Structure 1
Amino acid sequence: MEIEQALKSDADDLAYLIDIAGEGMPQYLWSKLADPGQGALALGAQRAAREEGGFSYRNALVCRDRGNVLGMIIAYRLPAPYVVGDLNDYPEIVQPLIQLESKAPGSWYINAVATYEAARGQGVARMLMLEAQEKGRLAGCSLASLIVASGNKSARHLYKQLGYEDVASEPIIEYPGCPYGGDWLLMTKQLEG
């Protein structure tokens, strides 16, 4: 297994995996934005292939085994200051996430990490997290941040093992297919210089 920078050609994998990481929210939002006849995941792949924006292959690392993508992570520096603006400009289900992101300005934000089901339990997510944290440290960030559903016990367990701590929460606004109720949790970790 090797961790490497994602390629534009990984866009289909990135869209599929970010939907897993986002608890189905990405596919729900893409379905609202897709052109008639365009599938939600096809729109997600189109977005992943962009050169700019947080959800871009340029911000993604993938774990490969013999050329096959096993998992991915998307991480980048949040703006500082983080200007929220009018929350009503965002879809309602995203508003709690925006509020939490704004509490960690300038941090190295782990936007999404996910592995294909067949690759789970092999340490892929841990490897991706460690590599992303190192990228953040090298980029001069002293803090890493992420947001996770309070009900996602396996992800929270991994993050706690890696030294992340809960710092803030906002209620989840449920959407069709939402697997968890409860809260979104902002977790942070100091990155060593």
Structure 2
Amino acid sequence: MNVRDARKDDARDLAYLINLAGEGMPEYLWRRMAAEGESPMAVGIERAGREEGGFSYRHARVCVHRGRVLGMILDYRLPDPYDLAALADCPSVVRPLVRLEARVPGSWYINALATYPDARGKGVARLLMAQAEASAIAAGCETLSLIVASENRPARRLYDRQGFDEIASLPVIAYPGCRHGGEWQLMTRALDTG
């Protein structure tokens, strides 16, 4: 297995995996963006293939084995200061996430981490997390941050084992296709930059 920067031709894998990591919220949002007759996944694939934007292949890395994508991570540095002026323009289901992100300005944010179901338990997530840590240190960040649904127990266990601590939470706002309820939990881990 190796980790490489995502490419535009990884857009289909990226769309599938970000929807998995995003608890079905991406598909819900893509459905709202889709033109008549267009599938939500087609919208996601198009967005993943963009050159710019938070969800762009340019912010993603993939773990590959024998030419097959096994998992992905979408991560980047959050702005500092973090501007909440446009919060009212965000869909209501996204607002808790944006509010939590704003609590950790300048941190290296793991927006999404997902592994194909048949590749779980093989070290893919740990390998991608190690890559995120190296990127964060190279960018001069002192903290890793992420948000996870409290009811997503497998992901929560992974982040606990990786040394993340919960620092804040806000309720999940239910949406069609919502896979987990409970709360969105903001978790952080200090980096050893010395």
> Normalised by the size of structure 1, how large is the TM-score?
0.98
One-letter amino acid of the counterpart of residue 139, structure 1: A
Secondary structure of 2:42's partner?
helix
Secondary structure of 1:166's partner?
strand
Matched-pair identity in %: 57
C-alpha separation in 1, matches of 2:174 and 2:126: 28
Match of 1:109 in 2: 109
C-alpha separation in 2, matches of 1:38 and 1:177: 18
Match of 2:131 in 1: 131
Query: How many pairs align?
Result: 193
C-alpha separation in 2, matches of 1:191 and 1:46: 34
Please say if 1:182 is aligned against 2:182.
yes
List structure 1 runs of 4+ shifted beyond 4 angstroms. none
C-alpha separation in 2, matches of 1:144 and 1:109: 6
Aligned-pair CA distance for 1:87: 2.5
Q: 1:40-79, aligned counterparts within 5 Å?
A: 40-79=40-79
Aligned-pair CA distance for 1:15: 0.3
Aligned-pair CA distance for 1:20: 0.1
C-alpha separation in 2, matches of 1:53 and 1:106: 18
C-alpha separation in 2, matches of 1:86 and 1:7: 30
Match of 2:89 in 1: 89
Aligned-pair CA distance for 1:130: 1.0
One-letter amino acid of the counterpart of residue 171, structure 2: P
Deviates more, 1:53-62 or 1:15-24: 53-62
Please say if 1:144 is aligned against 2:151.
no
Secondary structure of 1:177's partner?
coil
Match of 2:12 in 1: 12
C-alpha separation in 2, matches of 1:191 and 1:55: 25
- Runs (5+) with no aligned partner, structure 1: none
Match of 1:24 in 2: 24
Secondary structure of 2:141's partner?
coil
C-alpha separation in 1, matches of 2:183 and 2:143: 22
Aligned-pair CA distance for 1:3: 0.7
Aligned-pair CA distance for 1:84: 0.8
- Runs (5+) with no aligned partner, structure 2: none
Aligned-pair CA distance for 1:111: 0.2
Q: 1:59 to 1:86 in 2, by over 3 A?
A: closer
Aligned-pair CA distance for 1:88: 1.9
> Normalised by the size of structure 2, how large is the TM-score?
0.98
Aligned-pair CA distance for 1:163: 0.9
Secondary structure of 1:189's partner?
strand
Q: 1:144-163, aligned counterparts within 5 Å?
A: 144-163=144-163
